[in-house]
Every structure is written in C-alpha cells, then in structure tokens.
Amino acid sequence: MVINKAYRYKLEPTDEQRQLLAQAVGCCRFVYNHLLKLNIDQYAKDKTFIFTNEMVTMLPDIKKEFPWLNSPFSQSLQTAVRNLGAAFSNFFAGKTEFPEFHKKGVHDSFTCPQKFRVEEEKGFVFIPKIGEVKIRVHKKFRRKKHIQGKKKSITVSRECGQWYICVLTEREIEVKSQTRNRSVGIDVGLKEFATLSRGVVIENPRFYRQYEEKLAKEQRKLSGMVKFSNNWFKQLKKVQKVHRKIANCREDFLHKESSRIVKNHDIIGLEDLCIKGMAKNHHLAKSIHDAGWGMFTTMLDYKAFWHGKQTVYVERFYPSSQLCSNCGGKKIMPLKLRTYVCEDCNTTIDRDYNASINIEQRALELIKLSA
C-alpha cells in the first residue's frame, strides 16, 4: 500500500535568504490573486471561467507584464496556479466555498515539486533559486536519515516570523491484516477529554484556557498600536507566537493520545459528531474548538489504517448517553446529570463511562452487520 507522509523542519536562513524566501512567497501569492481576479472579471463578463491548463499557459505573458515574477522558481508559480485550479474544482464539486484572495501573513507559502535536495545528515536543504538553507534537525536524528520514502515535493512556509519546510514523501508500506481481539468505545467530552470503555479517563488539558490570559494581554497591546507600524508588526508576532504555542501543545497531546489508543486496541468505536453544528452553541463553542475533536478522530483514522486496526463510527443520532449499558433501558439524560441511574435494573454508573460502553457495543454490532 502506498501512503504519503510529511516531515517538517525549521529553517535557519541568512538575511539574504530570508529576503529571497519572502519574494518567492509574495510572487506566488500575487499570481494566485491575479488569476483569481481575471476569473472573477471574466465570469462577470460572459459567465465563463479560465481553467487550470489555460491559466498555466498564461504565465509567460504574465511574467512579461510583471518582470519581477522571474525571480522565484518557475514551477512554484505553476503550482500556485494549479492550487487555484484545484480550488475551483472543489468549488464546482460542492466541496468548498468560492476561492478567496490570499492575504499576506495568512497564506505565506510556496511549493517546489522538483529540483530540490534535502540533506538531513549535513543539515541543509537546497531550494531552487534560494540556495542551500540550513535546517534545524533534532539531536536524535543528527548524522542519520529520518525521512523515509521518495521525496515528492517541498513546501516552504512562514509562521510567526519563522520559516519552516515540509517534505512530502511517498512510500509503500506492508498492509497488516486486521485483528479484532481488543475493542474500545470512546466518548469525547468537555469535562474530560475522553472516556474509554476500558475505564480509562483522559483529562482535558484545555490549552487555550491555559494561555487565554496571556493571549488577551498581548492582543490588548496590539489593539492600542498604530496599525501596520513597525511596533505593530513586532507585537503581531508576539500574538501569533502565543497562538502557535497553543496549537503545538494541542497537536502534541492529540498525537500522543491517539497513538496510545491505536497501539493498545484493534477496534475503536467513535461517535459521528457534527462538530460544526455543536459549535453554534456560543456557550460551548470555545471549549469545543479547544478540545480538537476533529483532529483527534482524523489521527485515529489514519493511524488505525496504517497499523491494520479499524475505526467504526456509530450513527450520529445513536442515543449512547440515554441507554443503560447493562440492561438496555432508556431514559432522558440532560447534560446537567453526570450519573446514569437505571430505573429498570438499578445500575448506577458515570454518564460518560456508560456512553463509551454503549458506543463499543454498537460498534461491534455494526461490524457484525457489515460482515
């Protein structure tokens, strides 16, 4: 089985290389926005769009009109055009909204599909038109290769004033036969991040709440400065740095917990949650986004797939919290009730633990029905 995997490193460019990287990012963003504007104007004129192949053939003429577009790697500009074409394709397929203009500071990246070179042992990456840029390699992987598989492309991005590189690889892995010895049901929540049917409770770290006060302090300073001044940009980086810290902590936590669950279980039962709809509750929206349920289930899906395990989603409206895990009795359970007391068999059990057991049982039933 062929899979794609990405490896991310922090770049340590010189001042001259920083300028070249910023120019490459700006040129790719300009080409994307320029062709998006042409498409909008053409649709307003005759209700038609310019598609990918035609946009790519327009690049040489655009370069003649704007000679400074010759400074970045030509294939990076072509990739930006193809990204716009893919955005239009997804829009016409009903998968996404209409493409938006890329903004500086938000969409700061470019891709090199060819002519790059990554030398982990020597600690640098060669980027076309930029040169050899030093990369920061963790001491655990120094003097040996970490990247496995065929290198397909590199994407250079700027976040919080720092430059990063993402190396996309393709490699073949052995498809492991699925085992069904150990099953588990997972009930995600806000009080506790997740409750497993094996009795394990994963505490909710609430990373956003931990840094909320610090973030508010930095944002207040930013709001009192003259917009787009030098001090404003310096303070903006501080705000972005706090956001990045929160995101990194959350991602690290989710990776560790999802890996632990996949390693110890073969069948993983999950709820098919409508997170977007749940986040419309303004009292819970911040906590729901902070928990990162969507990222967590995505990690479980691909890690289980890689290791020959299976994730099973129970029906969206399956009443896991209302059913008794012992006798199957049913009762209404408002959110304020944290203990399930069955009126039929007198079972008293924690609400989330009861739900996780029901999710596991239903997941096993769905596997039998599909067999």
Q: What is the pLDDT of residues 280-313, one digit of tens each?
A: 989 899 999 999 999 999 999 999 988 889 999 9
Q: What is the pLDDT of residues 337-361, one digit of tens each?
A: 999 999 889 899 999 999 999 999 9
Catalytic residues: 187, 271, 352
Beta-bridge mates of residue 164: 10, 157
Neighbours of 239 (CB within 10 A): 17
Beta-bridge mates of residue 135: 11
- Amino acid (one-letter) located at 73: F
Q: What is the pLDDT of residue 161?
A: 86
Q: Where are the domains of the chain?
A: 1-173, 183-370
Rounded distance between C-alpha atoms, residue 324 and residue 209, angstroms? 34
pLDDT band at 143 (very low <50, low <70, confident <90, very high): low
- Amino acid (one-letter) located at 133: V
Tally of helices (H runs) and strands (E runs) in the chain: 9, 14
Q: What is the pLDDT of residue 371?
A: 66
Q: Are 309 and 262 in contact (CB under 8 A)?
A: yes
Q: What is the pLDDT of residue 142?
A: 64
Mean pLDDT across the stretch 163-178?
A: 86
The model carries a pTM of 0.86
Q: Are 33 and 55 in contact (CB under 8 A)?
A: no
Q: What is the pLDDT of residue 178?
A: 66
pLDDT band at 138 (very low <50, low <70, confident <90, very high): confident
Among 32, 25, 49, smallest CA distance to 84 is for 32
Q: Are 13 and 126 in contact (CB under 8 A)?
A: no
Q: What is the pLDDT of residue 141?
A: 64
